[in-house]
Amino acid sequence: MTNLLIGTIRIYQNTLGGKRGLLSLLVGGGCKHSPTCSQYTIDSIKKHGTVRGLSYGLARMFACW
């Protein structure tokens, strides 16, 4: 489950995310955090496990909205 989730985030990073990703081109800008929210989520999942790491990542993403 963890590897599937991290793999999905990696696909997002390589296609939609990042400064040159599709979402950035359509919406403009990018993540204001360093590391990006997606990378932070991956790091959190690796450190804290799937459920807690994902919740930390989501909390960080929702803080921007």
**Domain boundaries defined on the chain:** 2-63
pTM (2 d.p.): 0.81
Q: In one letter, which amino acid is 35?
A: P
Q: How far is CA 52 from the centre of its chain?
A: 14
Angle made by CA atoms 61, 21, 31, in degrees to the nearest 5: 30
Token pair belonging to 45: 């999942």
Task: Read off the pLDDT of residues 4-51 as tens digits, 9 standing for 90 and up.
Answer: 999 999 998 888 876 666 666 566 666 677 888 899 999 999 999 999
